[in-house]
Amino acid sequence: MENESDRWRGIFESATAAFAETVEGVDPGRLDEPALGSWSLRDLVGHTSRALLTIEMYIARDPEPVTLDGPLAYLAAAAAASDTSALASEAIAQRGRDAGVALGADVAGSVRTIADRVAALVDRTADDAPCTTPLGSLTLAAYLPTRAFELTVHTLDIAASAGVEVPDALREPVAACLELAAAAIAETDAAPDVLLALTGRRGLPDHLHVV
């Protein structure tokens, strides 16, 4: 029987492939068009690429004792640390813009290179390898579901903004990310309201998010 870490490795692999495939379907002439919030399509792709690049960054850092015992703990820490101030939002936006610029003229080619390189790194790295993030340290097995989540959500954003088809490879990651989001919401006071919304009894609460 497939264990949970192997399952998420497969989901991460599918989400990574779907991201690269989706970007390859984007007309390069549309990269400067508006996409999500203040981001252009290029910015959004750049931001999404960071879901892969942070794996390289955090594995390479000096290891620290594990303080986050799973993906739900990481998501909770991210939500708790969320700063919605204009200054913090602009800093996030700027990192996306910088990452988009770093992709260069061949955005699809750069994304494919990053995807292949990080996928190979993940393949050869043990589940218990520490990832030292700004929110705390966790194992690679715990970090990968959060990266699959980011890749999946933003690949959907890219496909919608660019008007391209969502790859079939994203089907399983979407299902898995819904499970992860539900598990994260279940640990909050919003859980009953979300359950009632999903069963058609009311709308979703305002400003609901898990990250």
Please name each of the domains of the chain with its CATH number: 4-170 (1.20.120.450)
pLDDT at 87 exceeding the cut of 70: no
Amino acid at 69: D
pLDDT at 205 exceeding the cut of 60: yes
Which of 14-28, 65-79, 105-119 has the lowest average pLDDT? 65-79
The pLDDT of residue 85: 56
Average of per-residue pLDDT across 169-194: 94
The pLDDT of residue 43: 97
Which of 84-93, 101-110, 123-132 has the lowest average pLDDT? 84-93
| Predicted confidence band of residue 88 (pLDDT cuts 50, 70, 90) | low
Where does the chain have alpha helices with state H? 4-24, 41-60, 71-81, 86-102, 107-123, 140-162, 171-186, 191-198
The pLDDT of residue 89: 73
The pLDDT of residue 59: 96
**C-alpha to C-alpha distance for 102 and 160, rounded to whole angstroms:** 23
| Predicted confidence band of residue 82 (pLDDT cuts 50, 70, 90) | confident
What is the average pLDDT score of the chain? Answer: 93
Q: What percent of the chain has pLDDT over 70?
A: 96
How large is the greatest C-alpha to C-alpha distance in the chain, in angstroms? 49
- Check: CB of residue 74 under 8 Å from CB of residue 68: yes
The pLDDT of residue 84: 58
pLDDT at 1 exceeding the cut of 70: no
Average of per-residue pLDDT across 60-65: 94
